Amino acid sequence: MPILVKDYTWIQSPKVISIRIPISPVNHEKVDVFITDWYAKANFSPFLFEIFLLHEIDSKKSSCIVKEDLISLELFKKEEQEWESLEKELTKPEKMKIKEEVLKKCQEEANKEAEDKRIQKTQLDRHAVQRAMDVDARQHEIMDKRRNDERDKAMTALEEWRFNTAEKESLKVIENNINVPLKLEPRDSGVKIVELDSSSDEETKKPTKVAPPVRRPPPKTIVKSEYVDKTKDKLNRRVLPKLRSTAEIKITHTPRTFPTPSRESTAEEEAVWLKNVTLARRATGFVSEDLRPEEQDPQWCKDKGDEFFRNGNFLGAISAYTHGISLSDKLPSLYANRAATHFALGNFNKCMGDCSTAIDLMKPECEGNRRSRAKCVARRAAALARVGMLNKAIDEMKAAAKLLPEDDTLKKDIYDMERAWEQNPDSD
């Protein structure tokens, strides 16, 4: 429940009312101020200042300044007059009613303002789209006009070239067929040719029209080829073979250990190879056919691997853990112990892989597997440090320390890694 603030001060002039509200800089994080024409509120948790004004004010002109230890309200009066008091004397139901009315009015104004902004934004968007369409239309008009001008220019040049070419060809044909001087007179329909008589210098004959000769395409000549005729004759006399009859072929395969055909393999060499592989697997200590029933238990394989690890037989321990994983790949202790064995042998990448698998299998995370998870994370951090990734190793070791805050060894490892990373920060 908020604490109402009563220790405020106020002064007034004919136009303005100034209210000063002290606040504690320690007891508040955010100040919410709400001012309307009849009601003003300032909320700074856990304190609340509210006042129901005696007369109406102009909330749009009013202002608020929030400082570290003071809230200053400047309220402009709508009518220039001296107020007898700052707030009205109202009962609690009347105050609640005024609050509801003020809240409803402010919500309506906010909704209206938001709707006006939305309409204005829609209009601006439409105007922008229309302007863009107008610009595109003008660009298309300019491009169409340029294209039409270029086309008209090209067509005009083509017509001029065709007219000049036709005129020159007509003159050539006439000069070749008629060995008389020619006189050309321009005419709307074409060229007018006048023939002059060479026997009389004074008499002239009437001009006669000579039609231009008609250009006919040359007749097509059929080219005969002996090779083409022979090929056609050969194709006509060719006899096609009959269609093949359908049949079924049954193939039976001999079961074999190797996926190679019998004609490409040697059975004796394969048998020797299988025997050598069996002997090699037996040398490591685990062949499924030779194991007793109790040796098919993943927990027995874990215990056997732990025994090998304590005796320093790391390869035998890895074989035991690996065989246990082949029997059941859901036991996280097999991966965790094999990761420790890989770390002892210097196989740091395999150690990180087994640690990650073990952590993934320790789900859900609970108090029962907290120590095991911490050990896996710490071992993965140590492997990261050995491969030179100190920055990531420090983060992993800190995560392990969060799981085991009472372990001083992890804290010492973090300190040593940070000192090493400071000396060589580019190690990762």
pLDDT score, position 178: 55
Please say whether the beta carbons of 378 and 411 come within 8 A.
Answer: no
Q: Which residues of 381-410 are buried (b: 16+ CB within 10 A; e: fewer)?
A: bbbbbeeebbeebbebbbebbebbeebeeb
Q: Report, as an integer, the average pLDDT of 155-163.
A: 88
Q: Report, as an integer, the average pLDDT of 58-66.
A: 83
pLDDT score, position 191: 46
For residue 209, the tally of other CB atoms under 10 A from its CB is 11
pLDDT score, position 380: 94
Mean pLDDT of the chain: 79
| Sign of torsion over alpha carbons 331, 337, 338, 340 | positive
pLDDT score, position 218: 63
Q: Report the alpha-carbon distance of residue 343 to residue 339 in Å, rounded.
A: 6
Q: Report, as an integer, the average pLDDT of 25-29.
A: 56
Q: Report the alpha-carbon distance of residue 331 to residue 352 in Å, rounded.
A: 17
Binned at pLDDT 50, 70 and 90, residue 43 comes out as: confident
Among 26-30, 388-392, 393-397, the range scoring the smallest mean pLDDT is: 26-30
pLDDT score, position 27: 52
Q: Report the alpha-carbon distance of residue 21 to residue 9 in Å, rounded.
A: 7
Q: Which two tokens stand for residue 187?
A: 């005419």
Q: Which residues contact 418 (CB under 8 A, 6 or more apart)?
A: 394
pLDDT score, position 199: 47
Please give the model's pTM, rounded to 2 decimal places: 0.36
Element (H, E) at 41: strand 39-44
**Of 22, 19, 42, nearest to 32 (Cα)?**
42
Please say whether the beta carbons of 355 and 383 come within 8 A.
Answer: yes
Q: Which residues of 63-97 are buried (b: 16+ CB within 10 A; e: fewer)?
A: ebebeeeebebebebeeeeeeeebeeeeeeeeeee
Please say whether the beta carbons of 405 and 397 come within 8 A.
Answer: no
Binned at pLDDT 50, 70 and 90, residue 180 comes out as: very low
Q: Report the alpha-carbon distance of residue 234 to residue 403 in Å, rounded.
A: 93
CA atoms within 13 A on the CB side of 242: 3
Cα dist from 270 to 93, 261, 265, 281, whole Å: 101, 13, 8, 17
Q: Report the alpha-carbon distance of residue 146 to residue 48 in Å, rounded.
A: 74
Among 28-37, 149-158, 386-395, the range scoring the smallest mean pLDDT is: 28-37
Task: Name the amino acid, one letter, at 317.
Answer: A
Q: Report, as an integer, the average pLDDT of 124-133.
A: 88
pLDDT score, position 329: 86
Cα dist from 369 to 122, 362, 363, 376, 397, whole Å: 60, 7, 9, 11, 17
Model confidence at 355: pLDDT above 90: yes
pLDDT score, position 212: 56
Binned at pLDDT 50, 70 and 90, residue 205 comes out as: very low
pLDDT score, position 402: 92
Task: Write phi, then psi, for 205 (nearest 5 degrees).
Answer: -95, 160
